[in-house]
Amino acid sequence: MREKTRSGCQRAPISTPSLPPHHLMATKEQQHKKLPLFPLLSLLCFVSVFLALSLSKRASISKETTRFRPTPTVASTSCNYSHGSWIYDPNWIPNNYDSSCKEIFKGWNCISGNKSNARDIIKWRWQPNGCDLPPFDPVRFLQTFRDTNIGFVGDSLNRNMFVSLFCSLKRVSSDVKKWRPAGADRGFTFLHYNLTIAYHRTNLLARYGRWSANSNGGELESLGYKEGYRVDVDIPEGTWADAPSFHDVLIFNTGHWWWAPSKFDPVKSPMLFFENNQPLIPPVLPDVGLDKVLKHMILFAERRMRPGGIKLFRTQSPRHFEGGDWDQGGSCPRLQPLLPEKVEELFSLKNNGTNVESRLVNQHLFKALKGSTFHILDITHMSEFRADAHPATAGGKKHDDCMHWCLPGITDIWNDLFITHLNSIKARD
């Protein structure tokens, strides 16, 4: 029997192999001619070991010099993950996190808030047309994006998504440092992997604050304006101004505050836009102001982003108020996803209903992002079906929350999509 060396090669046998009967009388000369085979086998074995070690070393060097790599299995870039349908699977148990994650804002924790369908929300699985959306693997994510900084920049809907990602990662890696990198509202570093994720709160992306008429007069004062909110369309809010130079990956959103009469009343406290430190005269409406802010903030992020950085812009998260807006008795009592025809009824621009905001904002986003280096994370259509997944009155709210999402919930699927996009981008690069 041949003996194996540590390298896996077979060592030549010590005893002479048995020979067939007609070779029993082989001469010593014939046996002598076969001896050179043994050194040849040894030479071949040596060469194979050398090549194996050489390739192993090369692979090791390649792995060490790559800062962060896509997962080995990359989803098809030809798939449109944003279009598909929700499939109910009573046995589906996502292995992400549960309601015990302390970072979940109380108003979003629908399980502890006793929402009747809270545990059913995650039983609906998103099925894209003609392909599958890879589920989030937190361990692989931590390994893949080791030594990476990821920032969420936007309003509370981006915090909704940020918390979902944090809770998924915290379940598998508990050695975490809490801090506020680059002016963030909150942030965490997973120390074993040196992976940082942070949330930079900003409602409009641009800097804004209260404005009051000057007693000495001015252009706005001459038009009768007495108070409002000054929005500098070309200056980023300080909470995220340093984020592009710190993070390797940024994901932006804005939109919900742009049509918020409870905050920016068009008569009592209108949005007054400034550019180059001067008011825009004549004053412009919020939709024009949004276009100007997007233009400037996109250029700012592109100029300041660290080399090789990835920038994504998340599309608008839909609201699901029925029977009026949040302050008009509107509610979201549904316990199952909407049918396609109901989605169109609620969100069609033609109907100009309470929830028209999502598709309206997206028109501005797509226009502003055209020709930029941003990638678009389109979560709008898949989320339009999920009228069942908002907190509503869970936790004893006075008004139905039909804008934010229950956690665990829909933003977990957003992160599935986000990470699939990240891996595809890195694979292409």
Give 8-53 as a 3 state SS string: CCEECCCCCCCCCHHHCCCCHHHHHHHCCHHHHHHHHHHHHHHHHH
Confidence of residue 366 (pLDDT cuts 50, 70, 90): very high
Task: Share the mean pLDDT of the chain.
Answer: 85
pLDDT at residue 77 in the model: 54
Which of helix, strand or coil describes residue 85?
strand
Cα distance between residue 278 and residue 265, in whole Å: 22
Q: Which residues of 136-265 form beta strands (DSSP E)?
A: 149-154, 176-179, 186-190, 195-201, 206-212, 227-236, 249-252
Burial class (CB in 10 A: 0-12, 13-18, 19+), 316: buried
pLDDT reading at 246 higher than 80: yes
Residue 107 has pLDDT above 60, yes or no: yes
Q: How far apart are CA 372 and CA 370, in angstroms?
A: 6
For 104-428, the fitting CATH number among 2.60.120.280, 3.40.50.1110, 3.40.50.720, 3.30.590.10 is 3.40.50.1110
Report how far apart, in Å, the C-alpha atoms of 308 and of each of 74, 148, 327 are. 19, 12, 45
Q: Which of 65-79, 164-178, 366-380 has the lowest mean pLDDT?
A: 65-79
pLDDT of residue 12: 39
Which amino acid is residue 191, in one-letter code?
L
Q: What is the pLDDT of residues 196-229, one digit of tens each?
A: 999 999 999 999 999 999 999 999 999 999 999 9
CB count, 10 Å around CB of 127? Answer: 14
